[in-house]
Amino acid sequence: MHDLNEALDDLRAVIPYAHGGSVRKLSKIATLLLAKNHIIMQAKAIEELSVLVSQLKKKEGSSENQEASSVSSEESNNS
């Protein structure tokens, strides 16, 4: 049981909102629920960032294609 309590103390030390001078020590279940919710929020944030990166890459690729076709058509007009 000592190892479990020590592990929960370690978890409390790294999850947000679980420590501070005026905050009471979280119960075991509160610690686990807070950790679970924090992990879920982080996973959602990673997914949202992944979608944004994909969208930016698509925009970047399409703008490069447009620039290339503009240069190509300008070269054709100059010939």
**Model confidence pLDDT, tens digit, residues 1-43:** 889 999 999 999 898 875 666 678 889 999 999 999 999 999 9
Higher per-residue confidence, 67 vs 53: 53
**Across the chain, how many H-helices and E-strands are there?**
2, 0
Q: Which single residue is written with the structure tokens 């592990």? A: 7
Q: Tell me which residue of 1, 29, 41, 22 sits closest to 12, measured CA to CA.
A: 29
Residue at 78: amino acid letter = N
